Chain A
Amino acid sequence: MTDIAQIDFRPRAISVVLASDEGQRRIQRRYAAERRFRLYGIGAIGLAIAFLVLMLGTVLSNGMTAFWQTHVRLDITFDKELLDPDGKGDRATLEQADYAALIRAALGREFPDVSGRSDRRDLFELVSGGATFELRRMLLDDPSLLGRTVPVWLTSSDEVDMLIKGVFDRTEPEAARKIKDKQIKWVDALAAKGAVERQFHTTFFTAGDSREPEQAGIWGGFVGSVYTLGLTLLLCLPIGVLAAVYLEEFAPKNRWTDLIEVNINNLAAVPSIVFGLLGLAVFLGFFGLPRSAPLVGGMVLALIVLPTIIIAGRAALKAVPPSIREAALGVGASRQQAVWHHVLPLAMPGVMTGSIIGMAHALGETAPLLMIGMVAFVVDIPTGPTSPATVLPVQVFMWADSPERAFVEKTSAAIIVLLVLLGLMNAAAIYLRKKFERRW
């Protein structure tokens, strides 16, 4: 062996090097480099935050107004003559009665000097086409209103709403506007009496889609999303976890499993629209499943999320130290027992995080659902996995595509709801991870 003392290698003493001018310059350079690096880092984060603030700011400023809707107060007389001329008084009659006549009458009393067919029609357009349903619901809930006159806040039309919210410009020429000069005059007259007000718009959270912006809501899309995602989770969590456990813990490592692994990684990167086309061809074309149904949507999304869950699950299983497996095998547990009793519980936080991130991804997925017909205009709230439905992001897409000005704020409002849901899911992921995290 070589003797260390014999090695002819004599560097300069470190203290001498450090004290020299060259050493000082090196220190300065290092400080400068560190400062520069920190600036770059802060700059990058600043840029990212700026974009985030810009996006959230735009969405919020555009969308928040949609949660408040202009309402108009009218003194509605629940006229027996108009509603129930034959005096039957039963529910079926009240359900089919002409409530628009009540509104027309109330407006006529409010503005007695308006005459002529077209003026009256313009006047009637101040309130929403859905206001008749609001009156019907009121009366059916409380039949004692029949024959009485009460002030009622009715949803205004989207044009009035846009005017009140300042979206429509009064100074523009009448022809360039969606609302007529005389309508503006009437609205101002009502407003002067305190009969125009912005109220919290519950309809937005309880209704399905509608051609009338003021009657359109996200509940239909939300329920559709819940059915679709529920099905997705039901399908891909067990399949994904079983696949991950098998591949990671039991499968022999050979060329076939390598091939499978490569393909799973590739599947995770396949554009989602391809899965939509696959769903169209297989689930709708071959198996003849219903169009526009959460059932098919859920299956297509499961295909998309599955690779993510498998990859996340395998990573989580791989992160469990082998000593845990050996400990279990060492006391005579079978490999199955070792995995189910010890390895999988330890990997569960990772599996759940992966699943929730996959589900959040699925929640925002739009393109593949367009392919299987979930872009249909669905007014009714879906009642099951096979009834026609749409989902939140597709609702956003459809509203963004609608010509009415009032749908602009609805679009942003739906995006806000979508973002809130995504935030909740990510928060759940963090909570679950923290809750089940164990040290070993």
Chain B
Amino acid sequence: MNDSLVAQSAPAEKMDPGGLLTDRTVKMRTRDVHVFYGPKEALKGIDLDIGDREVTALIGPSGCGKSTYLRCLNRMNDYIEGIRVEGRIELDGRDVYDKSLDVVQLRAQIGMVFQKPNPFPKPIYENVAYGPRIHGLAKNRAELDEIVEGSLRKAALWEEVKDRLDQPGTGLSGGQQQRLCIARAIAVNPEVVLMDEPCSALDPIATAKIEELIDELRANYTIVIVTHSMQQAARVSQRTAFFHLGDLVECGETEQIFTTPREQRTQAYITGRFG
């Protein structure tokens, strides 16, 4: 009941959600992005910039379109039946829907970590080596070994699995699997890493490890993370975007969003009054 009241009153006091960046380099730019699942409009015109080499957190109640937005960024939505994506999405100023752009290369540049850990049912080594192998990143076995070790180290998993690289990735614990998936994503050395609730299946210790990892990765990668944990958004991100019912309600520096939100709905959500 609360929700619909707020939603109805929204257009009256429509204001700039502040999704655009002027003071720093923009890695990805989305303008007026609409997504329809059949007749249902899941995203209603999103204008949002993703800053280079920083962590952008997407928050909002369930079903508001965070995952849909995230999956637009690397065109993971392409194969969903009945979906329609409108608007402009850019990576480094280049339209990702450009005919001349190869979607496979786009996905190599924009890695993704999913909500549920989904390692391949293959050896741990093969999980990490797969991406570099199909993109020809390593000239020989030694280089490949190096990439695998480096990625696993970055994902804080190397010490735990270095003795059993030939065992299936599916045999690891949930938290280890998720770190394996992160290692797999960064093994191709992407520029952007998208993470859809990467810690939702993990215990606090594994979560802390991954948050630490995200903080380290920030130096080299642009990261967009969807999360349901306000604390996590506050801890790991520099900017936060609040989605509600397919709209971008408010976006700004994380500190500002969590201390002095301009929107009443943002305030209500982060203090736990709805969602």
A positions within 8 Å CB-CB of B: 1, 253, 321, 323-324, 326-335, 337, 341-342, 346, 438-440
B131 & A327 in contact (Cβ 8 Å cutoff): no
B positions within 8 Å CB-CB of A: 1, 74, 76, 79, 81, 104-105, 107-109, 111-114, 116, 118-121, 130-131, 134-135, 168, 170, 181, 184-185, 187-188
Q: Which of A253, A324, A332 contacts B108 (CB 8 A)?
A: A332
Q: A323 to B105, alpha carbons, bound, how many Å?
A: 20
| Minimal Cβ-Cβ distance residue in B for A320 | B121
Q: A439 to B107, alpha carbons, bound, how many Å?
A: 27
Given pairs A329-B76, A341-B134, 12 additional interface contacts (CB within 8 A): A323-B114, A326-B112, A327-B119, A328-B130, A329-B79, A330-B74, A331-B187, A332-B135, A333-B131, A335-B79, A342-B120, A439-B170
| Minimal Cβ-Cβ distance residue in B for A325 | B79
Q: A169 to B116, alpha carbons, bound, how many Å?
A: 76
Q: Which residues of A contact B108 (CB under 8 A)?
A: 331-332
B131 & A331 in contact (Cβ 8 Å cutoff): yes
Q: A331 to B76, alpha carbons, bound, how many Å?
A: 11
Q: Which of A253, A323, A330 contacts B116 (CB 8 A)?
A: A323
B118 & A323 in contact (Cβ 8 Å cutoff): yes
Q: Which 4 A-B pairs have the closest CB atoms?
A: A332-B108, A331-B131, A323-B118, A330-B112
B114 & A331 in contact (Cβ 8 Å cutoff): no
Q: A102 to B188, alpha carbons, bound, how many Å?
A: 85
Q: Which residues of B contact A337 (CB under 8 A)?
A: 134
16 A/B residue pairs, CB under 8 Å, sorted by A: A1-B1, A324-B120, A324-B121, A327-B181, A328-B120, A329-B107, A330-B112, A331-B107, A331-B185, A331-B187, A332-B107, A332-B188, A333-B104, A333-B130, A333-B131, A346-B121
B170 & A330 in contact (Cβ 8 Å cutoff): no
Q: Which residues of A contact B81 (CB under 8 A)?
A: 253
| Minimal Cβ-Cβ distance residue in B for A1 | B1
Q: Which residues of B contact A321 (CB under 8 A)?
A: 118
Q: A438 to B153, alpha carbons, bound, how many Å?
A: 27
A333 & B134 in contact (Cβ 8 Å cutoff): yes
Q: A339 to B131, alpha carbons, bound, how many Å?
A: 15
A438 & B112 in contact (Cβ 8 Å cutoff): no
B105 → chain A closest CB, angstroms? 7
| Minimal Cβ-Cβ distance residue in A for B75 | A329
Q: A439 to B121, alpha carbons, bound, how many Å?
A: 7
A428 → chain B closest CB, angstroms? 23
Most chain B CB atoms below 10 A, which of A329, A330, A331, A439: A331
| Minimal Cβ-Cβ distance residue in B for A332 | B108
Q: Which residues of B contact A328 (CB under 8 A)?
A: 120, 130
Q: A346 to B168, alpha carbons, bound, how many Å?
A: 14
Q: A438 to B81, alpha carbons, bound, how many Å?
A: 28
Please report the number of residue pairs spanning A and B whose Cβ atoms sit closer than 8 angstroms. Answer: 70
| Minimal Cβ-Cβ distance residue in A for B118 | A323
Q: Which residues of A contact B170 (CB under 8 A)?
A: 438-440
Q: A390 to B121, alpha carbons, bound, how many Å?
A: 45
Q: A332 to B119, alpha carbons, bound, how many Å?
A: 15
Q: Which residues of B contact A334 (CB under 8 A)?
A: 104
Most chain B CB atoms below 10 A, which of A321, A334, A337, A440: A440
A341 & B121 in contact (Cβ 8 Å cutoff): no
A327 & B134 in contact (Cβ 8 Å cutoff): no
Q: A30 to B209, alpha carbons, bound, how many Å?
A: 53
Q: A341 to B109, alpha carbons, bound, how many Å?
A: 21
Q: Which residues of B contact A326 (CB under 8 A)?
A: 76, 112, 114, 118
Q: Which residues of A contact B185 (CB under 8 A)?
A: 330-331
B71 → chain A closest CB, angstroms? 9
- Given contacts A1-B1, A253-B81, A333-B134, whether A438 and B121 have CB atoms under 8 Å apart is yes
Q: A335 to B134, alpha carbons, bound, how many Å?
A: 12
Q: Which residues of A contact B187 (CB under 8 A)?
A: 331
A10 → chain B closest CB, angstroms? 27
Q: Which residues of B contact A253 (CB under 8 A)?
A: 81
Q: A438 to B121, alpha carbons, bound, how many Å?
A: 7
- Given contacts A253-B81, A323-B114, A327-B181, whether A332 and B104 have CB atoms under 8 Å apart is yes
Most chain A CB atoms below 10 A, which of B79, B107, B119, B120: B120
Q: A328 to B113, alpha carbons, bound, how many Å?
A: 11
Q: A323 to B170, alpha carbons, bound, how many Å?
A: 13
Q: Which residues of A contact B109 (CB under 8 A)?
A: 332
| Minimal Cβ-Cβ distance residue in A for B106 | A332
B114 & A330 in contact (Cβ 8 Å cutoff): yes
Q: A333 to B104, alpha carbons, bound, how many Å?
A: 6
Q: A333 to B127, alpha carbons, bound, how many Å?
A: 13
| Minimal Cβ-Cβ distance residue in A for B116 | A323
| Minimal Cβ-Cβ distance residue in A for B109 | A332
Q: A253 to B121, alpha carbons, bound, how many Å?
A: 28
A327 & B76 in contact (Cβ 8 Å cutoff): no
| Minimal Cβ-Cβ distance residue in B for A335 | B79
A253 → chain B closest CB, angstroms? 6
Q: A337 to B107, alpha carbons, bound, how many Å?
A: 14
| Minimal Cβ-Cβ distance residue in B for A346 | B121
| Minimal Cβ-Cβ distance residue in B for A439 | B170
Q: A324 to B118, alpha carbons, bound, how many Å?
A: 6
Q: Which residues of A contact B107 (CB under 8 A)?
A: 329-332
B111 & A330 in contact (Cβ 8 Å cutoff): yes
B102 → chain A closest CB, angstroms? 9
A332 & B134 in contact (Cβ 8 Å cutoff): yes
Q: A440 to B172, alpha carbons, bound, how many Å?
A: 11
A327 & B135 in contact (Cβ 8 Å cutoff): no
A214 → chain B closest CB, angstroms? 56
A330 → chain B closest CB, angstroms? 4
Q: Which residues of A contact B135 (CB under 8 A)?
A: 332
A330 & B121 in contact (Cβ 8 Å cutoff): no
| Minimal Cβ-Cβ distance residue in B for A323 | B118
Q: A321 to B119, alpha carbons, bound, how many Å?
A: 12
Q: Which residues of A contact B76 (CB under 8 A)?
A: 326, 329-330
Q: A58 to B270, alpha carbons, bound, how many Å?
A: 77
B188 & A331 in contact (Cβ 8 Å cutoff): yes
Q: Which residues of A contact B79 (CB under 8 A)?
A: 329, 335
Q: A329 to B105, alpha carbons, bound, how many Å?
A: 10
Q: A323 to B112, alpha carbons, bound, how many Å?
A: 12
Q: Which residues of B contact A330 (CB under 8 A)?
A: 74, 76, 107, 111-114, 185
